[in-house]
Amino acid sequence: MITVTAFKWVPPFAAGQVRDHRVRWILNEAGWAYEIRLLDAVDQKSAEHRALQPFGQVPTLEEDGRPPMFESGAIVWDIAERAGVLIPPDPVKRAQVLTWYFAALNSVEGALNNVAEAEFFLPDEAAKAVRRAQVLPFAEKRLSALQLALGDRRWLVGETFTVADLMMSSVLKIAASLDLLKAYPALQAYFDRCLNRPAYRKAVADQCATIAAHGPRDMRYREAQAAG
pTM for this entry: 0.97
CA angle (133, 135, 141) in 5-degree steps: 110
Which pLDDT score is estimated for 227? 81
Which pLDDT score is estimated for 36? 98
Q: Which residues contact 227 (CB under 8 A, 6 or more apart)?
A: 42, 45
Task: Judge contact between 109 and 139, C-beta under 8 A.
Answer: no
The dotted CATH code for 91-197 is: 1.20.1050.10
Which pLDDT score is estimated for 228? 76
Which pLDDT score is estimated for 167? 98
Which pLDDT score is estimated for 121? 94
Sheet holding 34-39, edge to edge: 34-39, 2-7, 60-63, 66-70
CA 71 to CA 53: how far, in whole Å?
A: 8
Q: What is the DSSP string of the chain?
A: -EEEEEES---GGGTTTSTHHHHHHHHHHHT--EEEEEE-HHHHHSHHHHHH-TT--S-EEEETTEEEEE-HHHHHHHHHHHHT-SS-SSHHHHHHHHHHHHHIIIIIHHHHHHHHHHHHH---HHHHHHHHHHHHHHHHHHHHHHHHHHTT-SSSSTTS--HHHHHHHHHHHHHHHTT-GGG-HHHHHHHHHHH-SHHHHHHHHHHHHHHHT--GGGGTHHHHHHT-
> What are the start and end residues of each CATH 1.20.1050.10 domain in the chain?
91-197
> Tens digit of pLDDT per residue, the chain (228 long)?
999 999 999 999 999 999 999 999 999 999 999 999 999 999 999 999 999 999 999 999 999 999 999 999 999 999 999 999 999 999 999 999 999 999 999 999 999 999 999 999 999 999 999 999 999 999 999 999 999 999 999 999 999 999 999 999 999 999 999 999 999 999 999 999 999 999 999 999 999 999 999 999 999 999 999 987
> What are the start and end residues of each CATH 3.40.30.10 domain in the chain?
2-85+200-226
Architecture of the domain delimited by 2-85+200-226: 3-Layer(aba) Sandwich (3.40)
